[in-house]
Amino acid sequence: MTVNKTELKEYYREIENLLVCDRKQKTAFMAELKANIDEYIATVGETDIESIMAEFGTPEIIAESFLSNSNVLTIKKKLSIKKCIIMAIVIALLVYLAFVVISLIDVHTEAHGYMQEGIMMINSFRGGAGL
């Protein structure tokens, strides 16, 4: 059976999503893995995704193997950067939300505000020099 290109792309995508590293490392690792799989397919001939997974492992096993061979400090730094970016986005959204709420309250107050009624007294001076 010939390997299905769609299944193979999905296999690669799952592996890429599970890898925690910078883009350069991920690209290099995936290029090497794809070359190894292409070589395997060329050697074996017709194969399917199950035999590829049997030979190379499931996406989870491949990612776990990659992580066990990676530098822990690099992974920790990558996760820390992601966490900071997510926190910055959350804070920006909260500030924006607060701005929207305050604006809506202000618009509501203007539309349904209050009115003061009173008598305005105007003092006028009559007579006098030149007035």
Range of the domain at 55: 1-70
Q: What is the pLDDT of residues 50-103, one digit of tens each?
A: 999 999 999 999 988 887 766 665 666 666 777 888 888 999 999 999 999 888
Residues 76 and 58 in one domain: no
Write the DSSP assignment of 55-94 as a string of letters: HH--HHHHHHHHHHHS-HHHHHHHHHHHHHHHHHHHHHHH
Regarding whether 60 and 79 lie in a shared domain, the answer is no
Owner of token pair 């995936």: 30
**What is the pLDDT, as a whole number, of residue 58?**
92
Total domains in the fold of the chain:
2
**Residue 118 lies inside a defined structural domain of this protein:** no
Is the same domain home to 83 and 26? no
* Helix H or strand E encompassing 12: helix 5-18
Q: Do 77 and 65 have their domain in common?
A: no
Are residues 60 and 103 located together in one domain of the fold?
no
Distance CA 48, CA 57 (A): 13
Residues 14-26: tens digit of each pLDDT: 999 988 777 888 8
